[in-house]
Structure 1
Amino acid sequence: WIIGWDLILEYAIGNVAVAISWANYFRSFIHDAFGKDIPAWLATDFRTARKIPGLLESAPHIFGIPIVFNLLAFGIVAFLTVVLVWGIKESAEFNAVMVAIKIVVLLFFIGVAIYFVPPSGMVQNWHPFQPTGWGGTLAGAAVVFFAYIGFDAVSTVAEETKNPARDLPVGIIASLVICTIFYVVVAAVFTGLIPYNELVRRLSTEQAEPLTMALNHVAPNATWASAIVAFGSVVAHTAVLLVFQLGQPRIFFSMARDGLLPPVFAKVHPKFKTPHVTTILTGVVVGGFSAVMSIDEMVDLTNIGTLFAFVLVCVGITILRYKEPNRARPFKVPLGAWLLPMLGAISCLFLIYYLPPASWWRFVAWLLIGLSVYLSYGYAKSILGQKVGRPHVTPGWLFLLGIGSLLVAIGILAVPHHASLSELFAEVSGGNGRTTLAVGSIALGLLLGIVGSIMGMTKR
């Protein structure tokens, strides 16, 4: 359950970030290729709009409230949702073409960048090499981790490979090595194109994707170059959106089939033979969030959820090595008894530490919402649980625990994440309505949790 609930962050919330990035690249492509500007208030969220001078003032107002809505991100998600309900199949050929486009775009960016700014010129922009020290570097690594999400999806094609024991490890490790080389080269070229202070200034006051922004900075008249990069990125992002929107309904479908979610999540369309309910639900969630959320928040939340899942996987390897030593293992992780898995878990926790505290709170709230669903429904309805004698109806004390978990989650999401404990009490005593309701929700949830726990212990 925890891994399945966590994967929703990787696929659905991660896809929100991809949709927002798609919107930015699409807007850049239209501007560079055709000289037309899509209104910024139709391609951004409210929090980002507040950072861009003049954007809120230029947006239409209703009753004095500026209308800011990322219609581009919402539109591409809605379009792909309709396509997936209608029915589409993944193919190795399609994925190969998309990967080829991505590689060509990155190579083109590197080539054009070196043409306009030779390596000797880039070196000047690399000083100081760590403007904010190791703390900034590690915080950046925690964010850049988003680029590595999805490599684990290689394991889903195990049944289609001739020799999974050999091909899967080679495929995963080789793809990681090759992509890391690409990422390092692109990052080196990108940071060599634009000074750090100028990069910070432009990212804080503009809404643009970094690659096209860097090309426009060094070659403002070569719009053809940034147009090609933007177009290739739009195509590549569309492929990522399609694959992730295809994958998330399968997670819902599998969880419903195992009894962890209601049967409606496992319904298949009678005509199109697609999981239309979960596909539409995924589209509504991803489209809705992509229309109003900022990309930074979504990337951080996706990263912390995926890193936590990797921690569980690493710890699970060690546990299985000791609990099931005779289990068939076509591929064994080197030093997998404890050293390599523990290093993996520690490194993931280390990166989590450098993510913003607000992301931690949101992640805790997400886990509590998942716990609420599991306790109030999945615990009793789980097919595996029923095999070991669990009741078919959720006991009252478990239901109380589930409601309590949900109330605590709502309170955590509503409370100001920047405030200390003393500041929270000061806001409550000062009559701040939002903070008072949030703290009250947490207190009531904890009370219900305590009551439910006591009831559970007495029944046992």
Structure 2
Amino acid sequence: MSQLLRRKQINEARSEHVDPQVEVEHGLRRSLGVWQLTSLGIGAIIGAGIFSGAGTAVSGGPNHVGAGPGLVLSYVLVAIACGFAALCYAEFASLIPQAGSAYTYAYATLGELVAWIIGWDLIIEYAVGNIAVAVSWGAYFQTLMKGFGLGLPEWLATDPRTARQAFAELQADPTVTGATLDAAHAWQNAPHVLGLPVIFNLPAVVIVGLITWILVKGIRESAWANTVMVILKLAILVFFIVIGAFWVRPENWSPFMPNGWNGVFVGASLIFFAYIGFDAVSTAAEEAKNPQRDMPRAMMWSLGVTSVIYIVVTLVMTGLVPWDQHGTADPLASAFSERGYDWVAGIISFGAVVAMASVLLVFQMGQPRIFYSMARDGLLPPFAAKLHPKYRTPHVTTILTGAFVAFFAAFANINEVIELTNIGTLFAFVLVAAGVMVLRWREPERHRPFRTPFVWFVAPAAIVSCGFLMFKLPAVTWERFGIWMAVGLVLYFLYGYRHSRLRPGGEGTRAV
């Protein structure tokens, strides 16, 4: 038990990153300032959560009720919960400016076993979350291409499960239209190999491959590309708000909470996906010029900006179309299509394509850096900590992460992936909040460049609010989460336990 509770000393964690003022030949390059870090946060946050997931949260789905226009309150609740968590992350980011994010924080406070658990859990947030983003990107890209009279065959732009379900709906109701009819045609028209229909999401695979290539090239190039995409998607959302405001019908906001507070709470648990990303800033700590000062600022600024945008966009979206008609993969674009303004829908679709590409970039950047930290501690094989000799990026795990995301994005159903991503992220937030309190108790005298204000209220509030949102997720999501964590524990005891650098007399060696 003492071995499982080993903690990595903060001074040791600090020694593994170089002085921000010193230019070195080895290690990750420090080239990010506060604005670039904030841009990374906004780039990671604004994506599929608002451009896609908001639709089913408003109107409801097979396994949950809809929040209706009350989704605005859902965003407020989630912003508060994430604000509590962000304050806890900010203290750790200033104290331990290392690339591992919540994994590193847990290692310094709660011990090696919990650190492994949260490191394995973060795969759900970053890699699995990117699967959902890639699928949503593919849907918007197909919509955009159709606006130009182009577009791929439907069997090359959807997943098998969605196509099969849509075909069953078409057989039960021949009058179905829109996205359901398109997906049903995919099942009908797909070629067959060995009797099985060939159906996969080609656009999702292509965009993941392109993002992976950019990330291997270097952090400066990645940050520049992200900044450009963030400016574009913010401009598109402002366009949506300004144009949509002219066609808002206040009667569409009534009833405001068609399913009461239960709908609002369920909506909050679903659209939590829209806020995932501020913590991705912490994975770039070893590439920040002044992490102790800039990391907390970037986290809080990115969360504040996106919260305001989400609330205003949701008000306009639900004012354009009755709440029960938003259950599409592209709710912002379809809100204008329903009113006959296809040209506006086309512009919104372009914005969504840009928005989700930036989310893919930031999350694809974060996952390899978590692997990098875990391998450096001996919990993963040394190859995961290898850096490209020219670009100084963790190229091996960047490519492996890209291959993993691309493969599953080709066949995955977006709703199931989003729910799994939500529970993984909420769990990480709970552990980080607990870690802040543990470290305050163990080392109260330690200098903290940023201190979480009212920590004995904020940290428990983060745990309670995030735990409540986890409780609202479907039972099947809990089952899948349990299976995922069980697999992770098996891998830890087979490899990480034996090779940990902190194991007395262990085989683990520090990777370079």
Please give the range of the TM-score, normalised by the shorter of the 2 chains.
0.7 to 0.9
Which residues of 2 match residues 34-73 of structure 1 at below 5 A? 34-52=148-166, 53=170, 54-55=184-185, 56-73=187-204
Tell me what 2:52 maps to.
Answer: none
Instruction: Name the stretch that deviates more: 59-68 or 222-231.
Output: 59-68
Cα offset, 1:228, TM superposition: 1.4
Which residues of 2 match residues 71-110 of structure 1 at below 5 A? 71-87=202-218, 89-90=220-221, 93-110=224-241
Tell me what 2:62 maps to.
Answer: none
The CA distance in 1 between the partners of 2:450 and 2:219, in whole Å, is: 33
Q: Name the TM-score, length of structure 1 as normaliser.
A: 0.76
1:175 paired with 2:302, answer yes
Q: Aligned letter for 1:148?
A: Y
8 Å contact from structure 2 (residues 216, 391) kept in 1: yes
Q: Aligned letter for 1:282?
A: T
Q: Aligned letter for 1:213?
A: S
Tell me what 1:287 maps to.
Answer: 406
Q: Aligned letter for 1:6?
A: D
1:321 paired with 2:436, answer no
The CA distance in 2 between the partners of 1:275 and 1:334, in whole Å, is: 35
The CA distance in 2 between the partners of 1:176 and 1:350, in whole Å, is: 20
Instruction: Name the stretch that deviates more: 251-260 or 15-24.
Output: 251-260
User: Which residue of 479, 489, 493 corresponds with 1:361?
Assistant: 479
- Structure 1 residues 35-70: Cα deviation after superposition (integer angstroms, max 9, x where no partner): 223222211112222332333223223344322211
User: Which residue of 452, 462, 465 corresponds with 1:344?
Assistant: 462
- SS of the counterpart of 2:355? helix
Q: Aligned letter for 2:298?
A: G
1:6 paired with 2:121, answer yes
Q: How many residues align?
A: 376
Tell me what 1:186 maps to.
Answer: 313
User: Which residue of 278, 281, 285 corresponds with 1:151?
Assistant: 278
Tell me what 1:410 maps to.
Answer: none
The CA distance in 2 between the partners of 1:351 and 1:134, in whole Å, is: 13
8 Å contact from structure 1 (residues 314, 342) kept in 2: yes
- SS of the counterpart of 1:75? helix
CA 1:51/1:188 → structure 2, altered by over 3 Å: closer, same or farther? farther
Cα offset, 1:87, TM superposition: 4.8
Tell me what 2:368 maps to.
Answer: 249
Q: Aligned letter for 2:132?
A: A
- SS of the counterpart of 2:410? helix
Tell me what 1:451 maps to.
Answer: none
The CA distance in 2 between the partners of 1:391 and 1:287, in whole Å, is: 36
1:377 paired with 2:495, answer yes
8 Å contact from structure 1 (residues 28, 212) kept in 2: no
Cα offset, 1:4, TM superposition: 1.7
Unaligned runs of 5+ in 1: 394-460
Q: Aligned letter for 2:191?
A: P
Which residues of 2 match residues 129-168 of structure 1 at below 5 A? 129-156=256-283, 167-168=294-295
Unaligned runs of 5+ in 2: 1-115, 171-183
8 Å contact from structure 2 (residues 127, 364) kept in 1: yes
- SS of the counterpart of 2:408? helix
The CA distance in 1 between the partners of 2:302 and 2:197, in whole Å, is: 45
Instruction: Name the stretch that deviates more: 104-113 or 246-255.
Output: 246-255
Greater Rg by CA: 1
The CA distance in 1 between the partners of 2:369 and 2:471, in whole Å, is: 31
Q: Aligned letter for 1:253?
A: Y
The CA distance in 1 between the partners of 2:394 and 2:282, in whole Å, is: 22
Cα offset, 1:254, TM superposition: 1.8
The CA distance in 1 between the partners of 2:279 and 2:467, in whole Å, is: 18
Instruction: Name the stretch that deviates more: 159-168 or 317-326.
Output: 159-168
Tell me what 2:378 maps to.
Answer: 259
Aligned residues: percent identity? 52
CA 1:323/1:158 → structure 2, altered by over 3 Å: closer, same or farther? same
- Structure 1 residues 6-32: Cα deviation after superposition (integer angstroms, max 9, x where no partner): 221111111111111110111111112
Instruction: Name the stretch that deviates more: 320-329 or 63-72.
Output: 63-72
Cα offset, 1:171, TM superposition: 3.2
Q: Name the TM-score, length of structure 2 as normaliser.
A: 0.69
- Structure 1 residues 392-449: Cα deviation after superposition (integer angstroms, max 9, x where no partner): 49xxxxxxxxxxxxxxxxxxxxxxxxxxxxxxxxxxxxxxxxxxxxxxxxxxxxxxxx
The CA distance in 2 between the partners of 1:302 and 1:259, in whole Å, is: 26
- SS of the counterpart of 1:89? helix
- Structure 1 residues 267-315: Cα deviation after superposition (integer angstroms, max 9, x where no partner): 3445655433212211121011111111111111111111000000111
Tell me what 1:28 maps to.
Answer: 143
8 Å contact from structure 2 (residues 283, 370) kept in 1: no
8 Å contact from structure 1 (residues 249, 278) kept in 2: yes
Higher share of residues assigned helix: 1
Q: Aligned letter for 1:150?
A: G
CA 1:260/1:97 → structure 2, altered by over 3 Å: closer, same or farther? same
The CA distance in 2 between the partners of 1:332 and 1:278, in whole Å, is: 33
Measured on the aligned residues, the alpha-carbon RMSD in Å equals 2.3
The CA distance in 1 between the partners of 2:190 and 2:156, in whole Å, is: 9
CA 1:133/1:255 → structure 2, altered by over 3 Å: closer, same or farther? same
Tell me what 2:331 maps to.
Answer: 210
The CA distance in 2 between the partners of 1:166 and 1:269, in whole Å, is: 28
CA 1:95/1:69 → structure 2, altered by over 3 Å: closer, same or farther? closer
The CA distance in 2 between the partners of 1:226 and 1:347, in whole Å, is: 36
Instruction: Name the stretch that deviates more: 35-44 or 52-61.
Output: 52-61
Bigger relative contact order (CA 8 A; separation at least 6): 2
The CA distance in 2 between the partners of 1:237 and 1:364, in whole Å, is: 28
8 Å contact from structure 1 (residues 268, 276) kept in 2: yes
